[in-house]
Chains A and B, each alone.
Chain A
């Protein structure tokens, strides 16, 4: 593994010299080496001065790299946390490097392997399952979307455009890795064996829904699949993932916690809390940020001014990588490796997957009101992660048109059947309104349940008839 990692290792970066990592040799880390021998005063001060700084009277200079020259003498502040060298130059560190952090990819838009690419090999069985699950997810999304439009479920939210992040990240994990999802990652659950029928039951909120009909559609969760139940608040799962990871570490498990968020989620305090806690606690957690360009209607330019998300890890002392989220092989390789690093090194890793939300935010949203249709079409057609991966599996001789037809029609049939079953199933019983608030029913809830039942007897027409009493 070390050999393929070597050539690309510069996209992993660390604020510290890595411990126990022989494959990360110094030349690949010169980007972050603060003791650069090149005196930075050779750089023209005006060249890198941003206009808003030009009027400042102080002879301040803006450093684009973090290589402010240290004074020659060995003087340093012996500061808590480590020695800090002195400099006589007043230079401000720029908000970002001259070049944006590059994006790791393995397949180009045509599904061809990029020359000299380094990636974790995917077997035929794995490749076919990855592709099949991406198609299943796609089909599930389009059918559920229609079912919602027909008014048969109250809400839905598609993964369109983000199938590769969903499925390839799941494929790279082990089943006992604990997943704390946001809400646009049901592909992970699908990969782990949650059945189409179980997805449908949840969306219909019937008696077979693990969540007992208490949450809106798409709030899946399954203990058996180590997939924590989705909650709507943004980024709250991130610090929780650190706690889960700490537990795995303390229990000596060879597993990590994996948590997802979107680009919008990185603005939440919980994102920053989680990154900082993960670094300080040395928790084996992999943060996967799906940077899909849009947080409902807010574009990334209005979300943050950093070079995306990957650079944020650096400030917290966390390794990070930017990956093409529409390249299933790149996502697979990055997550696979991040997982190994997290578990072996007992440290967090941040993955920024550049992708695009081709669908609307949810069924309550019309994204054409705030973004160009051309943009959506470009990502839907040219950068489609499913067709890109399809070309690769086809080229390998693993997939044919016949397989495609059979799979799509089979998934469709299974889903239509599952929907019929779910629609006929009973709603959860009334007692489920009161149970699970606590481990046992406290007296106030017992009292309220009694009172409610009396009211229902008195005014039965006020209440839905399909909820068993």
Chain B
């Protein structure tokens, strides 16, 4: 129970999440509002639709505002021709989006839950990702952004909880981006929408309401493929993304009480990822821990781990630690056991530092 309690504390503590250190370009101090992640996404979509008349938002139940309310009000403001429902068919949504994007539009598609993205896997992997390459750059669908909520929520079971990011990280030609907070979500989503490459944007749905942060109201973008050191430390580097960072931050705070100084890095973009920032940090700390909710085997943590071992082998003072989901389907009743919780991370921090 204590592990679950730990998670709840970190999320209920709304203001505690703001660990963004970067000052966004164009953010004016006057126009800053306290927003949750869902509203930040909504604001990004509103700006995207407003700033480019050839941008479209569509997906299942998007028109009335979406099952998570991320698209609330957009159909009223921009009309049902630009913000619209689609039939319940993920491969259709992505295929349609590719065609729309290939004609020079910004196609912002929503897959209602990342758990349901698999019918669209072929369209993403074989079509979107290869569209530019296979045509010799004659055609591209770079205007395509696929938004999809991912991750645990405490009661989602098999099909409302998964973190399928690793599947997409094996696909040259797409980018995979995951924000950790409202301010990050808005700036990264706008970057994704305007990036000339197809992108899968995973939204940490547990944070839709729980993460609240000061978010600049104006139009700003945060760079892709740039990781961010969100907490500096000297004993061990922790790498994560999305909702897991809040758990990792809790572990960092507890470790600090025991005299361990942790550096925490938000990868933000999983492919193509910023190895240099992680490498520099590990060269400083000599230790690495990677954590994600997805099953450990074949997870993206394995890629981070292998790459850093390649680059920092002689500097490493302990094996790279991975604290991840179990290799089981995502369970309902057993969710607290499955999750890479704060104390699992804390234990791994301690054993890695003591190694």
**Given A210-B138, A228-B139, A439-B142, residue A246 in contact with residue B96 (CB < 8 A):** yes
Nearest A residue (CB) for B107: A243
Q: Verify B99–A247 contact, CB threshold 8 A.
A: yes
Considering the chains assembled together, what is the distance between the CA atoms of A247 and B53 in angstroms?
12
Q: Is A215 an interface residue, CB under 8 A from the partner?
A: yes
Q: Is A269 an interface residue, CB under 8 A from the partner?
A: yes
- 9-residue interface stretch from B84-92, B146-154, B237-245, B337-345: B84-92
- A240: contacting residue among B102, B136, B225, CB under 8 A: B102
Q: Quick one: which of B308-334 are within 8 Å of A by CB?
A: none
Q: Quick one: which of B102-119 are within 8 Å of A by CB?
A: 102-105, 107, 119
- 9-residue interface stretch from A274-282, A398-406, A460-468: A274-282
Provide the residues of chain B in CB contact with A435, threshold 8 Å: 137
Provide the residues of chain A in CB contact with B135, threshold 8 Å: 210-211, 221, 223, 228-229
Q: Which of B96, B105, B196 has the most CB of A within 10 A?
A: B96
Provide the residues of chain B in CB contact with A211, threshold 8 Å: 134-136, 138
Considering the chains assembled together, what is the distance between the CA atoms of A442 and B226 in angstroms?
11
Q: Is B145 an interface residue, CB under 8 A from the partner?
A: no
Q: Verify B99–A439 contact, CB threshold 8 A.
A: no
B161-176 to A contact mask, C-beta < 8 Å, 1/0: 0000000000011010
Considering the chains assembled together, what is the distance between the CA atoms of A437 and B105 in angstroms?
20
Considering the chains assembled together, what is the distance between the CA atoms of A443 and B278 in angstroms?
14
Q: Quick one: which of A246-284 are within 8 Å of B by CB?
A: 246-248, 250-251, 257, 269-270, 272-274, 276-277, 280-281
Question: Total interface residues on A, using CB and 8 Å?
Answer: 50
Provide the residues of chain A in CB contact with B104, threshold 8 Å: 247
- B138: contacting residue among A229, A243, A442, CB under 8 A: A229
Nearest B residue (CB) for A277: B92
Considering the chains assembled together, what is the distance between the CA atoms of A389 and B95 in angstroms?
37
Nearest A residue (CB) for B96: A243
Q: Is B133 an interface residue, CB under 8 A from the partner?
A: yes
Nearest Cβ in chain A — how far from B224, in angstroms?
10
Nearest Cβ in chain A — how far from B64, in angstroms?
14
Q: Quick one: which of A209-223 are within 8 Å of B by CB?
A: 209-212, 214-215, 219, 221-223
Q: Is A438 an interface residue, CB under 8 A from the partner?
A: yes
Considering the chains assembled together, what is the distance between the CA atoms of A270 and B172 in angstroms?
23
Q: Verify B139–A221 contact, CB threshold 8 A.
A: yes
Q: Is B97 an interface residue, CB under 8 A from the partner?
A: yes
- A236: contacting residue among B81, B122, B139, B173, CB under 8 A: B122
Q: Verify A438–B99 contact, CB threshold 8 A.
A: no
Q: Which of B107, B126, B127, B173 has the most CB of A within 10 A?
A: B127
Provide the residues of chain B in CB contact with A219, threshold 8 Å: 134
Provide the residues of chain A in CB contact with B63, threshold 8 Å: none
- B133: contacting residue among A223, A257, A277, A436, CB under 8 A: A436
Considering the chains assembled together, what is the distance between the CA atoms of A442 and B91 in angstroms?
28
**Given A210-B138, A438-B173, A438-B197, residue A274 in contact with residue B276 (CB < 8 A):** no
Provide the residues of chain B in CB contact with A343, threshold 8 Å: none
- A233: contacting residue among B81, B92, B102, B122, CB under 8 A: B122
- A277: contacting residue among B86, B126, B132, CB under 8 A: B86
- B173: contacting residue among A250, A274, A437, CB under 8 A: A437
Q: Is A168 an interface residue, CB under 8 A from the partner?
A: no
Provide the residues of chain B in CB contact with A276, threshold 8 Å: 87, 89, 92
- B86: contacting residue among A248, A280, A443, CB under 8 A: A280
Q: Is B207 an interface residue, CB under 8 A from the partner?
A: no
Provide the residues of chain A in CB contact with B132, threshold 8 Å: 436-439
Nearest Cβ in chain B — how far from A408, in angstroms?
32
Nearest A residue (CB) for B175: A438
Provide the residues of chain A in CB contact with B97, threshold 8 Å: 243
**Given A228-B102, A243-B99, A243-B107, residue A437 in contact with residue B133 (CB < 8 A):** yes
Q: Verify B126–A236 contact, CB threshold 8 A.
A: yes
Q: Quick one: which of B187-211 are within 8 Å of A by CB?
A: 196-197
Q: Verify B272–A250 contact, CB threshold 8 A.
A: no
Nearest B residue (CB) for A443: B272
Q: Is A88 an interface residue, CB under 8 A from the partner?
A: no
Considering the chains assembled together, what is the distance between the CA atoms of A281 and B97 in angstroms?
13
Nearest B residue (CB) for A428: B136
Q: Verify B100–A247 contact, CB threshold 8 A.
A: yes
- The 11 sampled A-B contact pairs (Cβ below 8 Å) are A210-B135, A211-B134, A215-B134, A229-B135, A231-B130, A233-B126, A238-B95, A239-B95, A243-B95, A243-B97, A251-B54
Additional A-B contact list (20), CB under 8 Å, known A222-B138, A229-B139 = A223-B135, A231-B130, A236-B95, A236-B126, A241-B99, A246-B100, A247-B99, A250-B54, A250-B82, A257-B99, A270-B122, A273-B87, A273-B92, A274-B95, A276-B89, A277-B92, A436-B136, A439-B132, A439-B142, A442-B272
